[in-house]
């Protein structure tokens, strides 16, 4: 006789109904051991973080520039870009702090390639374990070159694998409102830029900065890959990133003045970064040059809150679809958002440095 409180052995599965498999993933400690940091790479990361904190605290008068490909898909081309950028960064280092944009994870509105970590072979094989190790190797190589790196924190556990190689972190427009990403940011070791919402709402980002500045406790993983309760102290280096919204820019003087007021009303320092891409350039990469020109002029005419700029740049202008035959990919051209080319990037940074060289030292006096 069956008892009503006993589970019937014929009961269908009630969990993981739509899960096909659980593939093992190396722990953060295992990936760290395979791709360790050298002393030189460690210095690059630490010096980058310190410089960024000093800019946000107005101790360093330079403007910081997060510039690089929309996403990394070819590490050879990526390191080619990094070497060129390092030479340019050294040239303008008296005026600009250059951080290489190194994005491995791409949020998608519906479907599409989700980035180098998720699918490093770009063929829907989804070798995430290989992607994570390759991403760490790339970041290590960039740090060895001497460039600090900035990235977007998208997957909640990726910082355990890669966080020791990152100097600046962005939280994207789609995730700024996410409690999970606000909690993660509260424990990150880097300054964190929160983008306004996709609809242009700055209040979402202001709330995120406030939330991330507070201590949090949440579920995560530790270095051994075990589920853990993560307890954070809060991150006091959160700041606002304006990227436009609903197809409209928000880098103009009025929009920036309103953003300053929103930050001050929340008792936050008026620290603002402008993303020259996305809605601020109407998704036309060549317009990033005009956005940058406008921002430089705002600083020259007295703006004190603009501390950083983001630029989507690659070796070759534009973008390309991912072909079935990957040998047909054009070298140094984006497979996600379109970018400006290297020559335009050089001009943007050199022009900005030349125009701001005598202005920034006198700023905020």
pLDDT digits (tens, 9 = 90+) for 124-159: 999 999 999 999 999 999 999 999 999 999 999 999
Integer CA distances (angstroms), 339 to 200, 242, 289, in order: 22, 18, 11
So what's the pLDDT on residue 13?
80
pLDDT digits (tens, 9 = 90+) for 72-81: 999 999 999 9
Length of the chain counted residue by residue: 365
What tokens were used for 43? 């210095």
**Span 89-109, mean pLDDT?**
91
**Span 299-305, mean pLDDT?**
97
In a domain, 345, yes or no: no
Share of the chain above pLDDT 90, in %: 92
Given pLDDT bands bounded at 50, 70 and 90, which one contains residue 114?
Answer: confident
**Span 115-119, mean pLDDT?**
93
Number of CB atoms found within 10 A of residue 14's CB: 6
Q: Is the pLDDT of residue 326 over 90?
A: yes
In a domain, 341, yes or no: no
So what's the pLDDT on residue 97?
98
CATH of the domain at 110: 3.20.20.70
So what's the pLDDT on residue 108?
62
Q: Which helix (H) or strand (E) holds 91?
A: helix 75-91
In a domain, 22, yes or no: no
The reported pTM is: 0.95
β-pairing, 192-195 with 63-68?
Answer: unpaired
In a domain, 119, yes or no: yes
**Summary mean pLDDT of the chain:** 95
Beta-bridge partners for 65: 98, 309
In a domain, 11, yes or no: no
So what's the pLDDT on residue 288?
98
Number of CB atoms found within 10 A of residue 67's CB: 27
Q: How many structural domains comprise the chain?
A: 1
In a domain, 316, yes or no: yes
Q: Is the pLDDT of residue 218 over 70?
A: yes
Given pLDDT bands bounded at 50, 70 and 90, which one contains residue 105?
Answer: confident
Owning domain of residue 300? 28-336+354-362
So what's the pLDDT on residue 111?
65
Residues 125 and 150: their CA atoms lie apart, in Å, by 27
Q: Which helix (H) or strand (E) holds 335?
A: none
Q: Is the pLDDT of residue 61 over 90?
A: yes
So what's the pLDDT on residue 80?
98
| Cβ proximity of 240 and 209 under 8 Å | yes
Q: Is the pLDDT of residue 93 over 90?
A: yes
Given pLDDT bands bounded at 50, 70 and 90, which one contains residue 10?
Answer: low
**Span 1-15, mean pLDDT?**
60
pLDDT digits (tens, 9 = 90+) for 225-284: 999 999 999 999 999 999 999 999 999 999 999 999 999 999 999 999 999 999 999 999
Number of CB atoms found within 10 A of residue 229's CB: 9
Beta-bridge partners for 228: 220
In a domain, 2, yes or no: no
Q: Is the pLDDT of residue 197 over 80?
A: yes
Q: Is the pLDDT of residue 7 over 60?
A: no
pLDDT digits (tens, 9 = 90+) for 283-301: 999 999 999 999 999 999 9
323 CA to centre of own chain: 26
- Considering only CA atoms, which of 211, 277, 206 is closest in space to residue 240? 206
In a domain, 117, yes or no: yes
């Amino acid at each position: 006789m069956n008892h009503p409180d006993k589970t019937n052995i014929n009961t269908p599965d009630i969990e993981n109904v739509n899960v096909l498999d659980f593939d093992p993933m190396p722990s953060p400690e295992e990936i760290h051991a395979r791709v360790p940091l050298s002393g030189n790479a460690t210095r690059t990361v630490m010096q980058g973080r310190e410089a960024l904190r000093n800019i946000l605290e107005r101790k360093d008068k330079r403007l910081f520039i997060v510039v690089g490909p929309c996403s990394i898909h070819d590490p050879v081309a990526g390191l080619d870009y990094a070497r060129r950028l390092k030479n340019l960064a050294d040239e303008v280092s008296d005026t600009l702090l250059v951080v290489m944009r190194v994005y491995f994870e791409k949020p998608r509105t519906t479907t599409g390639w989700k980035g180098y970590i998720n699918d490093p072979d770009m063929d829907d094989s989804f070798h995430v374990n290989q992607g994570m190790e390759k991403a760490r190797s790339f970041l290590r190589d960039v740090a060895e070159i001497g460039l600090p790196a900035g990235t977007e924190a998208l997957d909640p556990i990726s910082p355990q694998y890669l966080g020791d190689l990152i100097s600046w972190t962005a939280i994207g427009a789609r995730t700024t409102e996410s409690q999970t990403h606000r909690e993660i940011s509260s424990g990150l070791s880097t300054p964190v830029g929160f983008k306004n919402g996709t609809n242009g709402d700055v209040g979402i980002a202001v709330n995120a900065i406030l939330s991330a500045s507070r201590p949090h406790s949440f579920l995560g993983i530790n270095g051994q890959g075990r589920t853990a309760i993560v307890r954070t102290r809060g991150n006091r280096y959160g700041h606002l990133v304006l990227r436009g919204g609903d197809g409209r820019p928000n880098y103009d003087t009025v929009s920036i003045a309103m953003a300053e007021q929103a930050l001050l009303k929340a008792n936050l320092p008026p620290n603002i970064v402008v993303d020259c891409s996305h809605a601020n350039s109407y998704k036309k990469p060549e317009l990033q040059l005009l956005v940058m020109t406008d921002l430089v002029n705002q600083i020259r005419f007295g703006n004190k809150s603009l501390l950083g700029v983001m630029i989507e740049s690659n070796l070759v202008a534009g973008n390309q679809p991912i072909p079935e035959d990957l040998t047909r990919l054009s070298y140094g051209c984006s497979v996600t958002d379109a970018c400006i080319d290297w020559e335009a990037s050089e001009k943007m940074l050199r022009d900005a440095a030349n125009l701001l060289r005598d202005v920034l030292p006198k700023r905020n006096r």
